[in-house]
Amino acid sequence: MTRASRVMLFLVAGVLFPALLPAADSVDKLPVLRTGFVEFPPFKYVDDNGNASGPWIEMTDKVAAEAGYRVEWVHLPIARVYLYLQSGRIDLWPGVAGIPALQDSVYESTVTPMEVVLYAFHRNRAEPPDSLEFLVGQPLILINGFSYLGALENLPLRKNDLSYAPGHESALRMLELGRGRYVLDYDEPVKAVQSEFPELDLTGTPIFEARGAFIVSRAHPDAKSVIKKFDEAYQRLVETGELEPLQ
């Protein structure tokens, strides 16, 4: 077959079978949503190539594409995510609903891609806390930069009772060394590193729960439409069995 014949065959196939040709509305041509990325392993983490990875990342990419958008991930500390949502420097955050500091600056999805539970982790011999108020006066280990869903804002915690760790593994190391009695953290990130501390005899007690959601900055010129499309896209994908809420 000559080159001219091959070209003609390709063009004819494109007329008869347009799906064989690249779609005009490819993902690369979709409008971009700059999206805040905070590490929350194993749901959100940085892979070996330095890219945002994990099931919550994949879910967000999929819902965004279904809604007609493309995600551009921006790796930020949590405090910067709040600031950038307020100022409009990012458009979207797959995060937590009900953050007091954000209520006048964002729209939240009605769908709930996951439930986020805050735990007090401690040695098995320590008394399990029965409420947030129990933690007042206790030596606590907190993760530096975490907002803890605003759960601690109204507690009269004393600075002398607080120690800060740069990450989940470091927090458990501090607990092992007796630098605190309770570590405030989330279940899955601790599970990811717990096996490195077999002598710790670790127990986790849930003390606060919040709703995971897609959060859109009100500074986006089409914010209400974006959050509506995300709600509808997520619901469609769940109804067709293509998505399930994260556990």
pLDDT digits (tens, 9 = 90+) for 62-75: 999 999 999 999 99
Please indicate, yes or no, if residue 94 is contained in any of the structural domains. yes
Residue 247's pLDDT band (boundaries 50, 70, 90)?
A: low
Q: Are residues 109 and 214 in the same domain?
A: yes
Query: Is residue 219 predicted with pLDDT exceeding 90?
Result: yes
Nearest to 111 by CA among 239, 246, 228, 213: 213
Same domain, 193 and 78: no
Q: Read off the tokens for 208.
A: 């606060």
Structure tokens at 30: 């979709």
195, 225: one domain: no
Residues 103 and 65 in one domain: yes
End-to-end Cα spacing for the chain: 56
Question: CA 174, 175, 176, 177: dihedral to nearest 10 degrees?
Answer: 50
Q: Residue with structure tokens 């919550």?
A: 56
CA quadruple 81, 82, 85, 90: dihedral, nearest 10:
-10
CATH of the domain at 161: 3.40.190.10
The pLDDT, as a whole number, for residue 26 is: 63
- 123 and 205 share one domain: yes
Q: Is residue 17 part of a domain?
A: no
CA distances to 53, 100, 182 from 103, rounded to whole Å, are 28, 6, 30
Whether pTM exceeds 0.75: no
Residue 223 has pLDDT above 50, yes or no: yes
Cα distance between residue 107 and residue 227, in whole Å: 7
**Residues 116, 189: contact at Cβ < 8 Å?**
no
The pLDDT value given to residue 146: 79
Contacts of 42 (CB under 8 A, 6+ apart): 54, 55, 188, 189, 191, 192
Domain that holds residue 228: 25-114+210-239
Domain count, the chain: 2
29 with 107, same domain?
A: yes
| Residue 9 domain-assigned (yes or no) | no
* Polymer length in residues for the chain: 247
**Mean pLDDT value of segment 150-165:** 92
Say if 30 falls within a structural domain.
yes
Domain membership flag for residue 71: yes
190 in the same domain as 218 = no
221 and 106 assigned to the same domain: yes
The 10 Å Cβ neighbour count of residue 146 is: 18
For β-strands 115-123 and 70-75, DSSP reports them as: unpaired
Whether residue 84 sits in one domain with residue 144? no
Assigned domain for 172 exists: yes
Regarding whether 178 and 148 lie in a shared domain, the answer is yes
Same domain? 42 vs 90:
yes
CA distances from 77 to 84, 145, 203 (A): 11, 7, 27
Residues 62 and 40 in one domain: yes
